[in-house]
A and B are shown apart, each in its own frame.
Chain A
Amino acid sequence: MDQQKVIISVLGRDRVGIIATISNILADHNANIVDISQTILQDYFTMIMLVDVTHSPLEFNELKKRIAEAGDAIGMQVNVQNTEIFDYMHRI
């Protein structure tokens, strides 16, 4: 099976437990964090995670929904997108 990788981006005001919230859900559903980077610019937090979801038993939309709900609960905007879109738009 091909590797399924997604980019999870999290945007919002900085607070305690953002990474923990998201990574807990990923761990619960067997999704592996491959890379993670974050910046904080004047209280504004952005985190980008590269996640391998190949072995997650959850269907993509379901995983996406759970992550987005968890993000909502802590007031963060979360996007989950297949990495292909970024490769397509930015690489020839």
Chain B
Amino acid sequence: MIQTSVARQEIMETIRMVQMENLDIRTITMGISLRDCADPDAEKACQNIYDKITQKAEKLVSVGEEIESRYGIPIVNKRISVTPVSMVAESSKTKDYVPFAKALDRAAQAVGVNFIGGFSAMVQKGTTLGDENLLKSIPAALAETERVCSSINVASSKAGMNMDAINQMGHLIKKTAYQTKDRDSIGCAKLVVFCNVPEDNPFMAGAFHGVGEPEAVINVGISGPGVVRNAVLKHPEADFGELASVIKKTAFKITRAGELVGSVASETLGIPFGIIDLSLAPTPAVGDSVSDILEGMGLEQTGTHGTTAALAMLNDAVKKGGIMASSHVGGLSGAFIPVSEDAGMIEAVRAGTLTFDKLEAMTSVCSVGLDMIAIPGNTSAETISAIIADEMAIGMINRKTTAVRIIPVHGKELGDEAIFGGLLGSAPIMKVNGKKSDAFVKRGGRIPAPLQSFNN
């Protein structure tokens, strides 16, 4: 074609990506600082929070929809992240932070977003009074709200691991599971435990607006496992050098779509553009699966030997391809492997090919970590804490972000399935190791920060 200088073939490629390969922008997330909302009167603080969010994000959804229409590319979610609530609520004379969660929920509903992240605290080295109050409020907050997501950073490569907090998280996850037991413990699907949490991540449930961020910001999370999978399938004979190149080119194009959407959204809303999160985020839809990409590389099923290597290569190539396509890359950036949100992963777990231990190994080379994993409801709090400790250790030592979003589904056991619905999908209950770790996690204290040299 003339003028646009883009060839017909390229136009068809974009159309095919959107129509047949589920290319979408997964989320436009507006980060909003709530630091000026604190007040000794909790009720006043909650009102300040509600007012600020509804004012700042008033047009977020309509602008998102306008961009979606103009460019013919779906923007699946419009979301909001806020300053960790522990920091905002700390000034108020109350120990119960559930009303803050409810204020966030109401504000999210008012502006029409499906999730709001930031019922969060950073406790990698220890807890403040506000952090303590927030932690204790998590189970009720997640049970009594629909859209609020919570994340707690319990470890970092610089600070080490806060084992007291990790121990506490096991109990809080169990309690959250119980308080949402009538909905397959869905509260736990909105609660993430992090090591090295990024402060500009647009993806839920771990999004919050970090302390170094501006007053408000637009962050974009891209997606497109289906596009990468088809690109991989088209090259069955390619060696890994060539395959990496194919993935990089594809990631570049996907990221450019995100860059355009982000810059237009930022301009229209008059809010600075923060980052693009270069992530391959799967959905339960057939063909929109990270697992399918790994199998496309030549594995009979995800979880078999070779899976970690395949994921490492994919994750790295996606980042390399995306980096040049965007001025600012941040967030989590990598391939997500949430079990319940990926049809191929679910299948691999059902078949017994993908086990808990293999998933843990995979998390050492991918973005994030043990994500959306359903385990038996009778798993002890201590075992959950030990699972978190293992995952945090991987992140701490490898200087990467790792996370645990695990759901001990109340009343369900091995052989059952948990159904969360929507983008959260469904998951077979996975087997966890039956031996106890109680004495280990109860030691408490902090695991010291690791050496940053002698990397062997």
Instruction: Tell me whether A64 and B69 are in contact in the complex, defined as CB-CB below 8 angstroms, given that A89-B14, A90-B14, A90-B253 are known contacts.
Output: yes
Determine if A86 and B11 form an interchain contact, defined as CB atoms under 8 angstroms apart: yes
Is A61 part of the binding interface, using a Cβ–Cβ cutoff of 8 Å?
yes
Contact B4 A87, beta carbon cutoff 8 Å: yes
Interface of chain A residues 46 through 92 with chain B (CB within 8 A):
46, 48, 50, 60-61, 64, 77, 79-91
Nearest-neighbor residue (CB-CB) of A6 within chain B: B70
The segment from B45-53, B107-115, B213-221, B256-264 found at the interface with A is: B256-264
Tell whether A87 pairs with B6 under 8 Å between CB atoms, given A37-B1, A48-B1, A50-B1.
yes
Known A34-B3, A83-B4; judge A9-B257 contact (CB<8 A).
Answer: no
Residues of B bordering A, CB below 8 Å: 1-8, 10-15, 19, 66, 69-73, 253, 256-257, 259-260
Which interface residue of A5, A79, A81 has the most chain B CB atoms within 10 A? A81
* A48 B69 Cβ-Cβ under 8 A: no
Q: Which of B4, B7, B14, B69 has the most CB of A within 10 A?
A: B4
Residues in chain A near residue B1, CB distance under 8 A: 7, 35, 37, 48, 50
The smallest C-beta distance from A90 to any residue of chain B, in angstroms, reads 4
Q: A60-B69, A64-B69 are in contact. Are A46 and B6 (CB under 8 A)?
A: no
User: Which chain B residues lie closer than 8 Å to A37 at the CB level?
Assistant: 1, 8
Residues of A within 8 A of B259 (CB): 88
Which chain A residues border B11 with CB–CB below 8 Å? 7, 9, 48, 86
**Is the beta-carbon distance between B257 and A91 smaller than 8 angstroms?**
no
| B-contact bits for A28-50, CB 8 A (1 contact / 0 none) | 00000011010000000010101
**8 pairs, A vs B, C-beta closer than 8 Å:** A7-B4, A35-B1, A48-B8, A85-B257, A87-B5, A88-B256, A90-B7, A91-B6
B260 and A88 within 8 A (CB)? yes
CB contact under 8 A between A50 and B14, given known A81-B72, A88-B259: no
Q: Which residues of A contact B15 (CB under 8 A)?
A: 9, 11, 79
Q: How far is the CB of A70 from chain B (nearest CB, A)?
A: 17
B258, closest chain A residue (CB)? A88
Instruction: Tell me, in angstroms, the Cα distance from A82 to B11 when the chains sit together.
Output: 11
